[in-house]
Structure 1
Amino acid sequence: MPSRTAISHELREWILATTRAGHGVPDVLKLMKDNGYDPRQSRSIVAEVLKLPLAALNAGTTSPAPRGLRTRHPEAPAVCVDGHAIGVSLSVDEPPLRVLENILDDAECAELIELARPRLARALTVDDDGKQQVDQRRTSEGMFFSIGELPLVARIEQRLAGLLGLPVSHGEGLQILHYRPGQEYEPHFDWFDPALPGYDAITRSGGQRIASVVIYLNTPELGGGTAFPELGLTVTARRGSAVYFAYEGGDPSSLHAGLPVICGEKWIATKWLRERPYRQGGRR
């Protein structure tokens, strides 16, 4: 790649192709530096091409999303992790999103529900100052397992780590949520806005969130899917399946909502992933 001030068509296409192949922003910046680009110029170029906040690149807060799923061919019908076959039924490039089948079996789903049921409490969010709060946008009940708390939890965490190519230490504790008829979680982002006053407190341990996995532990009779309004996409809640989506740099197209349960109930397990090893702290 020749060194140029303007963003040529070839350079723009190379940056897009490289990130789509699973390489994170730090990889792209290193390759550009190796090919003679000034680091400051490179950050500006990459921020413009990928539509990322330049401040995030300058502060070093942007990190590669989990690469395990991104480096596999998007049309691969299945992946195998430690002998467990997981189907891939839908792939979206931007944001990186995969709908996964059989990520948990029926027995694992049922056991997680029963382990969580006695510990349920009103689900909270994190406010602008980094403190937990009751939020009317989120009307479910929930609880958290600590990392490796039980053999089943540890097994699921290892499966996700192998699938996503990210160590268990980069994940927050597995959260179980229960929705009754009419309950929902209105459109929101899982990543933290760097402009919020509590951002430093929220990200002090583990840094920014970079991806989410929502696992459906049962199949509601009606409703309860996960909607992505910017994509015009709704993922149906089906027992044992999951939706994975990444949002490095705070991708606005990762806006999503837990749709209201119309009939029956919904149980999900959520895993949030961080850019660095995470210790228990503020959650959302």
Structure 2
Amino acid sequence: MDVVTQVKDDNDLVNKADSLIVKTNEIMEKTEGITSDLSNNVEAVRRTSRSLAGVDTVLRNLKDSVDNQVIVLRGIVKKSKELVDLEREKFRVEAPIIISQPSFTRMKFTGEQEIKEVVFAFKNVGQRVASNLKYSFLALYFDVLDESPSFKTAIMAREEGYGYNINTIPINNMFYLYTPFTNNMENKFDNINSGLVYVWKMEYADIPTGTRFFKNYFVLVNQYESGKFRYSTATYRIQNLVINYLKENDKEVFLTKENL
């Protein structure tokens, strides 16, 4: 091999080596670029992760806040419902309530001291006005012998009412209903076990609600001394006896549904 050929071959190797170095440098530059990009991406991912962690914390705090607000709102709703229930109950118990007042019941006499009529007292003890009062009554003479009472119908008012027509009954207002005491009544008050039982049936309304109330009242009138009478609410025993008597004698019209 001559010198010229050798030099040429050496030049080719050098050129190839230079070319390889250039390409290697290009690859390294690209690698460094890729590495740099990866580093940047990793840093971006880290920043994103930190940002997401911050968002997650914010969301967690927001959820806790919302949960607390829901708990508070539920408490408010519960309290509001309780207040509404209390107001509803208060409104219910403030309805008109008519009770009989036997201690204010009196008999009225004629000039000849004959019994003319019985004046019954009632009172609205509710906290609202009662209106559109309708009433009927039935008087029963009774005599108790050996604990076996016997009743006899003494007088009966018309079903649509008798005496005063009362449209409104104010709060805490006493009002009076008159019933005649006619000659055909067996007013033989021989002892404390005999007398009259007045059965009242009343219907009245509560204006704000439109509710209608139906009540029975059983008032006992008996003479304990000559010319002296006692007025009282009949005992439950007597009330039950009267109720059974009215049912057996087709006079249920004087009873409210609760007593049928």
TM value normalised by structure 1: 0.21
Normalising by structure 2, report the TM-score.
0.23
Counting strand residues as a fraction of each chain, which structure ranks higher? 2
Task: Select the structure with the greater relative contact order (CA < 8 A; seq sep ≥ 6).
Answer: 1
Kindly indicate which of the two structures has a greater share of residues assigned to helix.
2
